[in-house]
Amino acid sequence: MVSNASNAPPVIGLTTYLEQAKQGVWDVRAAFLPQQYFASVTAAGGIAVLLPPQGDPDPEAAAAAVLEGLDGLILTGGLDVQPELYGQDRHPLTDPARPDRDAWELALFRGAEERGIPVLAICRGLQLVNVARGGTLHQHLPEALGTERYRIGGGVFADNIVEVAPDTRLAGMLGAGPFAVHSYHHQGVDRLGEGLVVVARTDDGLVQAFESEGPGYLVGVQWHPEENAEDKRLFAGLVAQAAAYARAKEPVT
């Protein structure tokens, strides 16, 4: 288990859905996140804290308060980022807007960057980071690339092979070369955001992972690493960075 100097595991915040959900007689709007995400964090030695959309009308202030208690941040999967945020008209197959989630996660990401908090961005999370950095998205990959290989539907994850570039953070965790992943998305990176470096692609050229230039820890992957119960290396990498962040912010006595 990775721990900080005070022997407490690092605290990792995970963003969540906020959707209509049913349980027994209740049919209410609720925050939730598939167990695989936070189970992956705890298996890697971290403590998982769920972060539902909140802070209206001031998500920046709410995010600032939350980030004071975090050592790492995971931006999770979910519905599409609003195309209005990157200056495009809405495609007919783009998901309905979730402005509360977009505003909340943008505030969390920007606040985490300001503080140097390590970030792992997964699927939608990668897309949100790209938009936050001024990039754009393909709103429907079957039109852009002519393939349904990334979302076969029915809640079944597609299997794809990505090529991990050598001499990158990602290669340091997963190894360089071909790597099998689980995909479930119909959007992807079009124009890359500022300060991001592509570190994995599929054979059709689609960006499958990026890292941030310069200092700080930011790794974004288009696939779903939480779906691979046998391999928690991306989560272990984040937890290790979060533990280092926690040690660095401890007061000197």
227 is catalytic: no
- Please compute the mean of the pLDDT values over residues 49-69 and round it to a whole number: 96
Stronger pLDDT, 3 or 64, i.e. the higher one: 64
Active site residue 224: yes
pTM of the model: 0.95
pLDDT at 1: 40
In a domain, 162, yes or no: no
Could you tell me if residue 33 is inside a domain?
A: yes
In a domain, 5, yes or no: no
Task: Categorize the per-residue pLDDT at 2 as very low, low, confident or very high, splitting at 50, 70 and 90.
Answer: very low
What is the pLDDT, as a whole number, of residue 249?
A: 86
* Average pLDDT, integer, range 12-35: 95
Cα-based angle 234, 100, 232 (whole degrees, multiple of 5): 10
**pLDDT at residue 251, rounded to an integer:** 73
Residue 128's pLDDT is what?
Answer: 98
pLDDT at residue 27 greater than cutoff 70: yes
The reply to whether 60 belongs to the active site is: no
What pLDDT is attached to residue 3?
41
Domain residues for 92?
A: 11-138+187-249
**Mean pLDDT confidence for 99-114:** 98
Say how far apart CA 248 and CA 144 lie, in whole Å: 44
Burial 194-203, CB ≥16 within 10 A → b, else e: eebebbbbbe
- Tokens encoding 134: 């001024």
In a domain, 163, yes or no: no
Residue 182: inside a domain, yes or no? Answer: no
Average the pLDDT over 173-191 and give the result: 98
The pLDDT value given to residue 31: 94
CB neighbourhood size of 139 (10 A): 23
Residue 246 tokens read as 């926690």
Domain annotation covers residue 236: yes
pLDDT-derived band at 6, boundaries 50, 70, 90: low
Residue 125 pLDDT exceeds 80: yes
User: Is residue 4 predicted with pLDDT exceeding 50?
Assistant: no
> Exposure string (b/e) for 71-102, b if CB count within 10 Å is 16 or more?
bbbbbbbbebbbbebbeeeebeebbebbeebb
Query: 105, 123, 185, 211: which one is catalytic?
Result: 123
In the chain, the number of structural domains is 1
pLDDT number for residue 253: 59
In a domain? residue 210: yes
**Mean of all residue pLDDT scores within the chain:** 95
The CATH number of the domain where 86 resides is what?
Answer: 3.40.50.880
What is the arithmetic mean of pLDDT over 69-97? 97
Q: What is the pLDDT of residue 250?
A: 77
Q: What is the CA radius of gyration of the chain?
A: 18
- The C-alpha atoms of residue 244 and residue 70 are separated, in whole angstroms, by 12
- 203, part of any domain: yes
Helix/strand/coil (H/E/C) assignment for every residue in the chain: CCCCCCCCCCEEEEECEEEEEEECCEEEEEEECCHHHHHHHHHCCCEEEEECCCCCCCHHHHHHHHHCCCCEEEECCCCCCCHHHHCCCCCCCCCCCCHHHHHHHHHHHHHHHHHCCCEEEECHHHHHHHHHCCCCEECCHHHHHCCCCCCCCCCCCEEEEEEECCCCHHHHHHCCEEEEEEECCCCEECCCCCCEEEEEECCCCCEEEEEECCCCCEEEECCCHHHCCCCCHHHHHHHHHHHHHHHHHCCCC
Q: What pLDDT, on the 0 to 100 scale, is given for residue 83?
A: 98
